Structure 1
Amino acid sequence: MEPSEFEAITLVHDGNIVWITLNRPERLNALNDKLLNELSAAFDYLAHVDHRVVVINGAGRAFSAGYDIGSDSAEVGYADERDSIEDRDRLLLNIDIFMKIWRHPLPVITQVHGYCMGGASQLVVFSDITVVADDAVISGSPTLPIGGGYIAPLWSMLVGPKRAKLMSFDVGHRIDGRTAAAWGWATESVPAESLGEHVRSLALSIARTPASSLKLKKEAINRVSDLAGFASIARMGAETDALLHLTPEVRRVQHSIKERGLKGAIAHFQEFGID
């Protein structure tokens, strides 16, 4: 797939910098199959294109609201439509896509504004540098208990186990950009009005370094995380999530979404919880 065929993302070359924009602003750039497949194709394409830095950002009001669990997407339906093995394999496919960011030989910056929720925070962990707006709204779990163990373990490597547990146990718990930087989930936090210019300036500064040097620097630092089990941790959560998708409690949440709609299901959960 060529960049000219992309619809859910855009890819623009700007000298030595490549800008990838999540481009579903009407859905707050929620991650559906189309977007994820195009993101995968984008990194396959970049393997054969000269550049030195990649920046991933989001169109409109948000970086991304996370996995699209609305009526046009499949996260809530994964376990309904597949057995546990098929469900696990589908979840692993998402990890394989994000690993293309991790394994991409050159630096990848994520530029986060507005909402960065659930699966979007998972995507961001795989990038090399994350710059967030001070007022960004970040959550490591969906706003409904529809799974678990898929996202939080990777947070643990950045923020420590106790903070990762807070973000996982308290469904939908949110932090702002300043807190994300203070915890170590983000590299730095800047005022929202200067986010774009700050990231551009950073990307240009990094791009002064030859690609060969950047490749070796990234490989050396990534190797430390790989020795600590980064790739294994990223994949193991798919098994836990697939099991949870089959529990009666998650089935009730799925039914609630179908019956009340996503917003209605969230409101019902916030008032009554899940028995």
Structure 2
Amino acid sequence: MTDQELAQLETLQVVREGAVDWVTLNRPDRLNAITATMVRELFAYFEGLRHNYDTRVVVLRGAGRGFCAGLDIIEENKGEDAVGTRAPTRPREAHLAGIIHAMRACPQPIIALVHGPACGGGFAFALASDIRIAGASARMNDAFIRIGMSGCELGLSYFLPRMVGLSIASELMMTGNFIEAERAAQVGLVSRVVPDEGLEQAARDLIAAMLRTTPMGLRKTKQTLNTAMKLLDLEAVIALEEHTQMACTQTADFDEALRAFAEKRPPRFALQGG
């Protein structure tokens, strides 16, 4: 998205800080609940990252008292400009499920900073991120089962069993019960728990480490992990990894990374992507 397009966003705030985008869901008066406008804006933002080599890391967070309370039921019940969850007939048209696809397809790692409620679609946004850091106030749940739907929605039945195992995933998806920050860390749903006021610094620590890697190496790591998660054969995974490593070692940034490591200095990378 261009700077002009970013300035026109209604439900998001995107702050570009060098190679890092800080994306804030920005409807704090409604706990950042999802509207059709937010769907369009999030979809356009993440779709735009596919061929963006300037942005290397994305941080996703919520303004105010929570991360995202899920679908804005009041807006949805008005019947105007309703949020779509299913794939449309035209490819790359904005829809809620498409945001999940776009988050996984974009090559930039996404760090979700979760505080307060992360419910339904907000829970799905957190799970579709690559790394989740929870604030002490974080409370997450599969809200779909509580409103007469299946708990299997927006990729939750894909992500949750892989992250926490079938038993805990079934518990959360069949009850809609909340999982608090401490237990989320215990079962591996989040990387760590920090005080709410420490979320930004926790992200910055991760970002600093990520930006010391080569741009191509970082992008290829996410891409390869995505593919490896779909494979069951070890030989196929190793072949995939070897193919990726060959691509990484054929760049000038690989040589610079080796020199910087040997000389104990920060690397100076030439490439912005790969």
1:63 matched to 2:60: no
Structure 2 partner of 1:125: 127
Q: 1:52, 1:210 within 8 Å by CA — same for their partners in 2?
A: no
Residue 207 in 1 paired to residue 225 in 2? no
CA displacement, residues 230-258 of structure 1 (integer Å, 9 cap, x when unaligned): xxxxxxxxxxxxxxxxxxxxxxxxxxxxx
CA shift for structure 1 position 97: 1.6
1:1-275 correspondence runs (5 A): 2-46=5-49, 47-48=51-52, 50-70=54-74, 72-73=75-76, 88-89=86-87, 93-142=95-144, 144-148=146-150, 149-151=152-154, 152-154=156-158, 155-171=160-176, 173-227=177-231
* One-letter code aligned to 2:56: R
Secondary structure at 1:36 match in 2: helix
Structure 2, gaps ≥5 residues long = 89-93, 233-274
Q: Deviations over 1:79-130 (max 9, x none)?
A: xx9xxxx97446x932222111111112111111111111111111111111
User: Shift of residue 20 of structure 1?
Assistant: 0.6
Q: Which runs of at least 4 in structure 1 moved beyond 6 Å after TM superposition?
A: none
Deviation at 1:77, TM superposition (A): 6.5
Percent of aligned pairs sharing the same letter: 31
Higher helix share: 1
Larger Cα-atom Rg? 2
**Distance apart, 1:44 and its partner CA:** 3.0
The one-letter code sitting in structure 1 at the alignment partner of 2:168 is R
Distance 1:207 1:65 in 2: 31
SS for the counterpart of 2:190 is: coil
2:256 maps to which residue? none
- Write the distance in 2 (CA, Å) between the matches of 1:204 and 1:109: 13
Match of 1:265 in 2: none
Q: How far is the alpha carbon of 1:14 from its aligned partner?
A: 0.5
What secondary structure is seen at the aligned counterpart in 2 of 1:166? helix
**1:51 Cα shift?**
1.8
Once the 2 structures are TM-superposed, how far is the Cα of residue 135 of structure 1 from its aligned partner?
2.6
Q: SS of the counterpart of 1:73?
A: helix
Distance 1:10 1:189 in 2: 24
**Structure 1 residue 193: Cα displacement:** 2.5
C-alpha separation between the residues in 1 aligned to 2:140 and 2:85? 26
SS of 1:130's partner is strand
**1:213 deviation in Å?**
0.9
Structure 1 gap ranges (5+):
229-275
CA shift, 1:49, in A, is 5.2
Residue 141 of structure 1 deviates from its aligned partner by 2.3
Shift of 1:191: 2.1
Q: Cα 1:107–1:24, aligned 2, differ >3 Å: closer, same or farther?
A: same
Check the 8 A contact 1:17/1:207 in 2, yes or no: no
Q: The residue matched to 1:62 in structure 2 has which SS?
A: coil
* Kept in 2: contact 1:62–1:114 (CA 8 A): yes
Considering only aligned residues, what root-mean-square deviation do their CA atoms show, in Å? 2.5
The offset of 1:205, in angstroms, is 2.2
SS at match of 1:227: coil
Is the CA contact (8 Å cut-off) linking 2:146 and 2:175 kept in structure 1? no
**Which residue identity is paired with 1:126?**
A
Task: Tell me how far apart the structure 2 counterparts of residues 73 and 157 of structure 1 sit (CA, whole Å).
Answer: 31
One-letter code aligned to 1:6: L
TM-score normalised according to structure 1 size: 0.72
Provide the rounded CA distance (Å) in 1 between the counterparts of 2:211 and 2:101: 22
Q: Is the 8 A contact 1:64 1:115 kept in 2?
A: yes
CA contact 2:43–2:95 (8 Å) conserved in 1: no
